[in-house]
Amino acid sequence: MARPRSFDSDVVLDKAVEAFREKGFDGTSVEDLEKATGLRRASLYGAYGDKRALYLAALRRYQGTKDISLLQTLSAAKTGRAAIEKLLSVVIEEAAGDPCGCLLANAASERAAHDARVARCVEDNRRRVEGALLAAVLRGRADGSVKARGEARASARFLFAATLGLRALGRTGCDRSELRAAAGEALRTLD
Rounded-to-integer distance, Cα 143 and Cα 131, Å = 18
Residue 5: its pLDDT value, please?
58
Rounded-to-integer distance, Cα 166 and Cα 174, Å = 9
Q: In this structure, what is the dihedral angle of CA atoms 32, 33, 36, 38, given to the nearest 10 degrees?
A: -120
Residue 88: its pLDDT value, please?
96
**Of 102, 95, 90, nearest to 173 (Cα)?**
95
Residue 146: its pLDDT value, please?
97
Residue 8: its pLDDT value, please?
85
Residue 49: its pLDDT value, please?
92
DSSP codes, 7-46: S-HHHHHHHHHHHHHHHHHHH--HHHHHHHHS--HHHHHH
- 58-188 is classed in which CATH architecture? Orthogonal Bundle (1.10)
Rounded-to-integer distance, Cα 178 and Cα 109, Å = 23
E strands within 89-187?
A: none
If one counts every other C-beta atom within 10 angstroms of the C-beta of residue 63, the result is 21
Residue 93: its pLDDT value, please?
92
Return per-residue pLDDT of the chain as tens, 191 residues. Answer: 455 457 789 999 999 999 999 999 999 999 999 999 999 999 999 999 999 999 999 999 999 998 888 888 888 999 999 999 999 999 999 999 787 889 999 999 999 999 999 999 999 999 999 999 999 999 999 999 999 888 999 999 999 999 999 999 998 999 999 999 999 999 999 99
